[in-house]
Amino acid sequence: MANSPVQSVPAQDSGSGTVSLRKRRIAPKYLAAGAVVVALLGILFASLTNQQELPDGLLQANGRIEGDQVTVSSKFAGRIARLTSREGSTVHRGEVIAALDDAQTVERVAQMNAGVAEAVGALAQARTRIGHAAFAATATDASIRAAYTALEILQSENAIHLREAEAGLERARAALSRAESVETQALRDYERYKRLSEQGDVEVRRSEQAELALDAAKSDVTAAKSQLIQAEQQLAGAKLGPQRVLAKQDEIHALEARRTMDGANIDQVQAALAQAQATVRHAEAGHREVESTHADLTITAPMDGVVMTRTTEEGEVVSPGSPLLTLVDLDRLYLRVFVPEAQIGMLRLGLPAMIYTDAFPDKPFPATVRYISSRAEFTPREVQTPEERVKLVYAVKLYLDANPDHRLTPGLPADAVIRWKEGAPWTRPQW
């Protein structure tokens, strides 16, 4: 091994204390290690050289792909009765993904249904009562109007009836007087003709005719007396006109009192109707609340997406707001990168970008700058070197224009090239 490198090292003579030089061979393993270091330094130098060779108008950055996440939780406490999705499952908006035990709410819904039915029945009865009360009040008003009309007619007829009754009484008295006079004369004629007939001075027929005339006169007197009694009764009835007026007025007062009672009854029935309506509204509101609570026990997906995390299992009891699942929309992914303060002025919203991943090295994904932080921060800790972490950077979100076949998923590391100058040729990141 004549070509082996050698190294001179000092040697000390133990006997005389003098120092002399001697040669030591370097082991081959150290030579290999040195070669590796030199190679790594070369690669690093080449990387830095290539990075500097990125065309003007392009800016590169790296980060991890993220997505707009939605945490699904329950509005109410309860026991998880069913979970239909696991991590990695694809769900669609409105799809049932979890359900809490609803036995108690089902019972409450039944109770509220019964309460609503009872309240609606009471409302129907109140409406029927107010209909009857309104009909009675209308009938009473009609009776009052008819009574006032009858009173006016009665007051007008009283004087007429009184005069007619008085005149009728006078006629009846005169007729009785005439009939009595005729009877007196018929009696005289009968007695005279009877006496002359007995003496044979006149025919018996003349005595019989006088007797018949006397009987007719007596009948006329009887009839005149009867008419006189009727005339007296009619006069007495006519004299009762003021009393009939008073009676009709009393009837009107009674009807008006009834109308007042009907009005009070209507007020009571209307108050009962208003209370029944309020009871129905309260019962229906309670029913809607319970129905809403029952519906909220069935939890549906708020969007299309993929289940990223599942933090609970069936049978567990959760509190309100406890997270159950975390969803992410794979069609709304973005790459969060951090741009140094010195370069942030090159960027603006709407700039195009290309995202490169190790999983798909030959397939860049177009993206667009949709968010630029307005506040600088220190580089996050996941950046490789401490020197880089102390730099001020701005967070930038590059939203993917599309995610074909949902190939990209949150958490995937990726590099990005942002074109801030129009016409700059696209180039892969140079690290």
Q: Which of 9-23, 285-299, 413-427 has the highest mean pLDDT?
A: 413-427
Q: DSSP string of 276-306?
A: HHHHHHHHHHHHHHHHHHHHHTEEE-SSSEE
Q: Which of 34-43, 125-134, 179-188, 258-267 is predicted most confidently? A: 179-188
Q: At what angle do helices 103-199 and 204-239 cross, to 10 degrees?
A: 150
User: How far is the C-alpha of 355 from the C-alpha of 366, rounded, in Å?
Assistant: 6
Number of H helices, E strands in the chain: 5, 15
Instruction: Find the DSSP H helices in 297-408.
Output: 386-389
Q: How far apart are CA 99 and CA 107, in angstroms?
A: 17
Sorted by sequence, the CB contacts under 8 Å of residue 38 that are 6+ apart come out as: none
H/E stretch holding 359: none
Rounded Cα distance between 357 and 362, Å, is 9
3 state SS of 351: coil
Selected residue with higher pLDDT from 411 and 265: 411
Using CA atoms, how far residue 380 sits from 143, 375, 385, 400, in Å, is 94, 14, 11, 22
pLDDT at 53 (0 to 100): 67
Q: What is the mean pLDDT of residues 66-76?
A: 87
Cα angle 59-65-68, degrees, rounded to a multiple of 5: 120
For the four alpha carbons of 417, 423, 427 and 431, in that order, the dihedral sign comes to negative
Span of 13-17, 169-173, 176-180 with lowest mean pLDDT: 13-17
Q: What is the pLDDT of residues 349-365, one digit of tens each?
A: 999 999 999 888 889 99
Look at residue 24 in the predicted model and tell me its pLDDT: 43
Which domains does the chain show, CATH number per domain? 28-68+329-419 (2.40.30.170), 107-279 (1.10.287)
Residue the block writes with tokens 């309020």: 278
pLDDT digits (tens, 9 = 90+) for 26-62: 444 444 444 444 444 443 344 344 344 688 999 999 9
Cβ-Cβ contacts under 8 Å for 309 (sequence gap 6 or more): 87, 325, 326
Residue 225: C-alpha distances to residues 161, 177, 221 (Å): 21, 9, 6
Q: In this structure, which amino acid lies at residue 148?
A: Y
Q: Are 22 and 8 in contact (CB under 8 A)?
A: yes
Calculate ∠ Cα 380-381-385, nearest 5°.
110
Residue 7 has pLDDT above 60, yes or no: no
The number of angstroms, rounded, from the C-alpha of 407 to the middle of its chain's C-alpha atoms is 42
The pLDDT value recorded for residue 10 is 42
pLDDT above 70 covers what percent of the chain?
85
CA distance 225 to 202: 34
Residues 6+ positions from 331 with CB-CB distance below 8 Å: 304, 402, 403, 406
